[in-house]
Structure 1
């Protein structure tokens, strides 16, 4: 069974899943820095078996935006 988007964010950012919402944005919490962002990207690519474009990686600035970007790859998150 695939991990949920919320769980992938929680794992990558080392935070409780309850803290993950669509309103969570890049660098809004200290845990979401550039290193954690790349960990998140790797987790998304591995879990959903996709390869994100560089523009999408840079544009992924919130949980809500991640859902939009993943939809372009046929991932319903």
Structure 2
């Protein structure tokens, strides 16, 4: 469930209806994933899942899978 919702957020933020995310994906794998897009992505994730990601955790996400796992921890949704 988190994966599907996260997929939709990525497609909206990066304006790419064909974008398919995977746990091993990094910012380098997504055209346009710069610092502004990252802020927009995190904001959209927080809003979608009704969570607050601590600032000190933001730099710890090396992959999309890291982000997904943290969302699952905070939201209790899998």
Query: 1:75 Cα deviation (Å)?
Result: 4.1
Q: Normalising by structure 2, what TM-score? A: 0.77
Q: Normalising by structure 1, what TM-score? A: 0.77
Ranges in structure 1 where 5+ consecutive residues have no aligned partner: none
RMSD (Å) for aligned C-alpha atoms: 2.2
- 4+ residue stretches of structure 1 with deviation over 3 A? none
Q: Which has the higher contact order (CA 8 A, sep 6+)?
A: 2
Ranges in structure 2 where 5+ consecutive residues have no aligned partner: none
Distance of 1:9 and 1:56 partners within structure 2: 19
